[in-house]
């Protein structure tokens, strides 16, 4: 399983504690005892905060399980959408499978995703366009409507003698698929909310990462950033626990 946001933040707080000692090591020997005492005090508090985030790593594991379930269902639905035109049995049974799997995806959303990929994955996600606003509901809406359209593509290429019967079947199937697509369309605002939640999470990780590096190099940063990071830790935790009931695609769900 890949590293999640809670283990990533726990690691960053631990690095912040270590950076205090790095700063102390670069001071003159006369002032080292004074800086060392401060580094010990700050380091102890930061390690406690780090431990709290590490204890929440179970939410990272739950997030990975949620990812696996959602991605599997999305792949199956997408695959069946484009195989409808392959054969008569695909035309007959794949729309039924799509209709049955769609509610299962909604059920999978009852497992809220309380974690995200680690900061190193954020860069990959952005480069791949994962945060372009394409969420699970929008993608499913498109897949289901494409499946309905592919039904009529199959009918158009069928022998003329069976075309009327196939057209009736395609019409009935498409009505069901369009209704499912409308349900997903109504839920698209949850994609937008998910995008906002993900942006907040990425912003928190970036902020902590930038600030903890500063501790190594500046006196004011050494003195005040550990205090700021400690005070903000409960705020970060509260914001991180806002669940994602849908997700961005392509690399992350």
pLDDT at 13 over 70: yes
The domains of the chain are located at 5-240
Distance CA 225, CA 248 (A): 32
Q: Please, what's the b/e burial string for 64-79 (b: 16 or more CB within 10 A of its CB; e: otherwise)?
A: bebbebbeebbeebbe
pLDDT above 70 as % of the chain: 85
Q: State the average pLDDT over residues 217-237.
A: 93
pLDDT at 115 over 70: no
Residues 6+ apart with CB under 8 A from 198: 116, 131, 244, 247, 248
The pLDDT of residue 241: 85
> What tokens appear for 32 in the block?
């080292």
SS3 4: strand
Residues 193-207: pLDDT tens digits? 888 888 898 899 999
The pLDDT of residue 225: 95
**Average confidence score pLDDT of the chain:** 84
Distance CA 208, CA 215 (A): 11
pLDDT band for position 172 (cuts 50, 70, 90): very high
Q: How far is CA 137 from the centre of its chain?
A: 14
Q: What separation, in Å, do the N-terminal and C-terminal C-alpha atoms of the chain show?
A: 14
pLDDT at 57 over 60: yes
The pLDDT of residue 126: 38
Q: How far is CA 44 from the centre of its chain?
A: 32
Largest interatomic CA distance in the chain: 97
Q: State the average pLDDT over residues 122-136.
A: 46
pLDDT band for position 111 (cuts 50, 70, 90): low
User: What is the crossing angle of helices 88-108 and 136-156, to 10°?
Assistant: 170
pLDDT at 120 over 80: no
């Amino acid at each position: 399983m890949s590293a999640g946001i809670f283990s990533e933040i726990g690691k960053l707080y631990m690095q912040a504690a270590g950076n205090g000692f790095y700063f102390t090591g670069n001071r003159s020997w006369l002032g080292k005892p004074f800086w060392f005492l401060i580094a010990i005090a700050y380091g102890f508090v930061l390690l406690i905060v780090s431990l709290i985030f590490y204890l929440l790593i179970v939410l990272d594991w739950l997030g990975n399980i949620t990812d696996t379930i959602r991605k599997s269902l999305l792949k199956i639905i997408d695959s069946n959408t484009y195989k409808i035109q392959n054969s008569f049995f695909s035309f007959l049974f794949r729309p039924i499978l799509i209709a049955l799997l769609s509610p299962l995806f909604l059920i999978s959303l009852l497992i809220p995703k309380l974690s995200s990929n680690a900061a190193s994955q954020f860069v990959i996600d952005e480069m791949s366009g994962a945060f372009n606003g394409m969420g699970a509901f929008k993608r499913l809406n498109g897949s289901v409507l494409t499946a309905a359209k592919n039904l009529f593509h199959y009918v158009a290429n069928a022998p003329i003698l069976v075309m009327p019967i196939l057209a009736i079947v395609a019409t009935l199937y498409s009505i069901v698929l369009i209704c499912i697509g409308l349900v997903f369309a109504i839920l698209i605002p949850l994609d937008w909310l998910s995008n906002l939640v993900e942006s907040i999470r990425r912003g928190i990780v970036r902020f902590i990462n930038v600030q903890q590096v500063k501790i190594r190099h500046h006196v004011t940063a050494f003195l005040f950033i550990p205090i700021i990071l400690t005070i903000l830790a409960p705020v970060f935790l509260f914001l991180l626990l806002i669940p994602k009931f849908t997700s961005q695609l392509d690399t992350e769900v």
